[in-house]
Amino acid sequence: MLRIIDARTGEVVEAAPARRGLTRVEAHAPGFGTTALRVLLVADLLVRALELGGTPVWALLSGDRDHAELRAGAAALGIRPFEDTRDVGGPGLGETQVLHVAAEDGTAPDGGVRVAVAPVEPVAGAAAGDDPAVLRFALLARRRDVPVRLDAATLDEARDTLADWRRAVAAWAREPSRPIPDEVRADLRAAWEDNLDLPAVLRVLHRVRTEPDLPHGARFETFAYADRLLGVDLTRDLGSPA
């Protein structure tokens, strides 16, 4: 069960307290910017994690301006579309939990659980290049409560790791498939269900990448499974020349 820290109280709460009950994830982004995109990314990750656990989710975007820019930037980062709160109106859908995702210094309605997101500082001259997944990966590598400085070193590290993993996944795909080891699957779920700890998920994948006794087919299935949450297209290079 996904557990999340409520920024209002500091307490750990269940993101979906009722089994199979609907959870509303509402991203609050008042304007376009890298921090706003990080807010949407965290909301997207919450939606993915809840859905992987079998919880139905209603994803909404709340904000008064720059919706077109936000949606374009979110789409480039692989963030799935959210409904616009301005188009919904009326009562909810009987949700049993509401998660409000907002910047640390942003505002969100009373009630529900507040999920706070630390700011992002872009650095002039540092760019992710033509692969937006590099930026997504760089943001995933830091806990959401830790500010991120998007300098050249941070983006280069993300770019190099992502390229290495994609090459490895493409190579492993040529081997017979093998099931994900139960321990590895449990470690992945324990990581993301513990306050959506994405850096811990990446550490599990680093371990799987280098574990000498793990069949390549099991490595492939592990990375493909984790990418359902990460959303960085780890299988993109399948079928490319060795």
Token output for 146: 């830790």
Backbone angles phi, psi at 158, to 5 degrees: -65, -45
Residue 64 predicted with pLDDT over 90: no
108: closest CA among 6, 34, 4? 6
**CATH number for the domain harbouring residue 200:** 1.20.120
Is 138:128 a contact under the CB 8 Å cutoff? yes
CB 41 within 8 A of CB 77: yes
Q: Answer yes or no: is 145 within a domain.
A: no
In a shared domain, residues 7 and 99: yes
Domains held by the chain: number: 2
Query: Is 239 a residue whose pLDDT tops 90?
Result: no
Residue at 115: amino acid letter: V
- Taking each continuous run of H as one helix and of E as one strand, the counts in the chain are 8, 9
31 and 111: one domain? yes
Where is 135: in which H helix or E strand? helix 133-140
Higher pLDDT, 133 or 241: 133
Closest CA relative to residue 15, chosen from 59, 41, 47, 39: 47
Asked, for residue 123, whether it belongs to a domain, the answer is no
Quote the pLDDT of residue 2.
Answer: 93
Asked if residue 236 is part of any domain, the answer here is: no
- Cα separation, 223 vs 110, in Å, equals 38
Asked whether residue 105 is domain-assigned, the answer is yes
pLDDT digits (tens, 9 = 90+) for 218-230: 999 999 999 999 9
- What is the three-class DSSP state of 194? strand
Token duo for residue 108: 């969100």
Asked whether the beta carbons of 29 and 64 are under 8 A apart, the reply is no
DSSP assignment letter at 227:
H
Gap between the Cα atoms of 62 and 209, Å rounded: 39
Tokens 């930026």, located at residue: 135
Domain presence at residue 137: no
| 206 shares its domain with 109 | no
Q: How do residues 142-201 score in pLDDT, each as one tens digit?
A: 999 999 999 999 999 999 999 999 999 999 999 999 999 999 999 999 999 999 999 999
Q: At 150, is the secondary structure helix, strand, or coil?
A: strand
Beta bridge partners of 115: 101
| Cα–Cα nearest to 46, from 116, 125, 93 | 116
Q: Decide if pLDDT at 89 tops 80.
A: no
| E strand map for 29-96 | 57-62, 83-84
What the block records as the tokens of 200 is 């811990």
Same domain, 83 and 8: yes
